């Protein structure tokens, strides 16, 4: 499934004021740079963990609905909280929107599971790339405090190194920090095993 962000997170898991306290910065000269480093740290930690930290809307694209395993498939970027819409191109190449009663989401699983409702099946699609578009909300919540503290700690570690050791990080010379971040994110990481 190809996934892209439709609606970005409204805030970062580490607010600027909290980041500056962590970095021991008491001036405003580098606020823009620190903000960019916060975003970079989030993207890095989200990629490692396979998660979305702050709520955003994602869209996933498939060429057709899955047919095996009862039509079940897994949504990347846990935790998923709701399906916004499922659209598809039918056999006449007309875009349709599935009624919410025709499918069900299990947001308690990680990754979340999506399948046709009991007694239903996925409709046939036309022959085209990205015939199916699923939009869903993913993330722990809308507030930085909704994000688990171990994830925020991993982000702070990445942020500190990105800020203090700019040249060595860019040149790929500092690898110790990635091991520490991996350890902090280990309990929250979605791996290929989670998708089987």
pLDDT per position as a tens digit, 157-179: 999 988 887 665 444 445 555 66
Predicted local confidence at residue 165, as pLDDT:
75
Interatomic CA distance for residues 47 and 151, integer angstroms: 12
Predicted local confidence at residue 178, as pLDDT:
67
- Write down the pTM of the prediction: 0.83
pLDDT higher than 60, residue 195: no
Please state, as a whole number, how many other Cβ atoms lie within 10 Å of the Cβ of residue 52.
25
Q: What is the pLDDT of residues 30-66, one digit of tens each?
A: 999 999 999 999 998 998 899 999 999 999 999 999 9
Residues whose CB falls within 8 Å of the CB of residue 135, separated by 6 or more in sequence, listed in order: 6, 57, 58, 59, 60, 83, 84, 85, 86
| Class of the CATH domain delimited by 14-51+144-195 | mainly alpha
Q: Read off φ and ψ for residue 96, nearest 5 degrees.
A: -125, 160
Domain boundaries in the chain?
Answer: 14-51+144-195, 56-138
């Amino acid at each position: 499934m190809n996934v892209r962000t439709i609606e970005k997170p409204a805030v970062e898991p580490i607010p600027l004021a909290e980041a500056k306290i962590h970095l021991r910065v008491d001036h405003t000269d580098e606020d823009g740079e620190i903000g960019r480093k916060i975003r970079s740290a989030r993207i890095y930690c989200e990629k490692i963990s396979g998660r979305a930290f702050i709520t955003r809307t994602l869209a996933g694209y498939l060429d057709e609905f899955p047919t095996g395993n009862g039509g079940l498939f897994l949504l990347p970027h846990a935790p998923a909280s709701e399906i916004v819409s499922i659209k598809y191109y039918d056999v006449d190449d007309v875009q349709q929107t599935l009624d919410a009663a025709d499918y069900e989401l299990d947001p308690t699983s990680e990754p979340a599971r999506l399948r046709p409702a009991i007694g239903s099946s996925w409709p046939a699609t036309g022959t085209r790339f990205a015939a199916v578009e699923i939009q869903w909300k993913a993330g722990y919540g809308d507030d930085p405090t909704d994000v688990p503290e171990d994830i925020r700690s991993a982000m702070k570690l990445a942020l500190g190194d990105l800020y203090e050791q700019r040249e060595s990080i860019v040149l790929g010379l500092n690898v110790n920090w990635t091991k520490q971040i991996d350890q902090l994110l280990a309990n929250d990481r979605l791996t290929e095993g989670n998708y089987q």
